[in-house]
A and B are shown apart, each in its own frame.
Chain A
């Protein structure tokens, strides 16, 4: 592989990896928020004010 092909490969891998990092990071944050809400709803159901 020449230097150009190696750089092309690295940039392509970076683009794909960053895309997945952003998407999975966002889903993880959403799932965290959703679980916290579920816990809060369960607590409210157990101890109604």
Chain B
């Protein structure tokens, strides 16, 4: 039953990805000023939204780990696995944002990169979570999870700054697509539909790989616990 549900979810995700791609490339009309290159938007913005969501999951996991680490070891480990999975998958999506953005910017603005507030805060966010992953990978000792949780919480503080950056400061990056005042929003229904389908598709894909990453981490934790137990018994 569980295998059937997973299979159905994977099939639904693949169908959404194909449909989203079709909508973005063949159905949505060309934007008037940027023409074809504007279609990068349909991958760039949903990737940023999913990255933000997964950094929020990492934040919740980090807080959970710090809250439970002294009294509920099992809950603390589950929280820590969510924190790591959210951070790692979030970095994957944030990497997509940081690569597709300059490709779009090169054609739209004539430059690959500029140190404006939106781009800089996004790069800082990516660097914080990459350092989180490096800490998890290379540091050793009983305090690694605690240190990582604290770093994860600091990293998540950058997410609202990234989100608000093109509202607070004048940036080269375009104005907010949603929630940026009366002028914001996608006016063309076909463009809005293509965007919506791609948000759904990338969210479904992201949840799939987040769940897989969580499962791998839980298994890793079980191996580590078994090894520790065997070392104590020896």
Contacts and interface: CB of A to CB of B under 8 A. Distances in A.
B62 interface: no
Given A18-B100, A40-B223, A12 B37 contact: yes
B40 A15 contact: yes
A19 B96 contact: yes
A19 B97 CA distance: 9
Interface in B169-224: 205, 209, 212-213, 215-216, 219-220, 223
A49 interface: yes
Interface in A1-49: 4-5, 7-9, 11-12, 14-16, 18-19, 22-23, 26-27, 30-31, 33-34, 37, 40-41, 44, 49
**B contacts with A: majority SS:** helix
Given A22-B92, A34-B215, A37-B220, A12 B40 contact: yes
Contacts of A22: 92, 95-96, 99
A12 B47 CA distance: 15
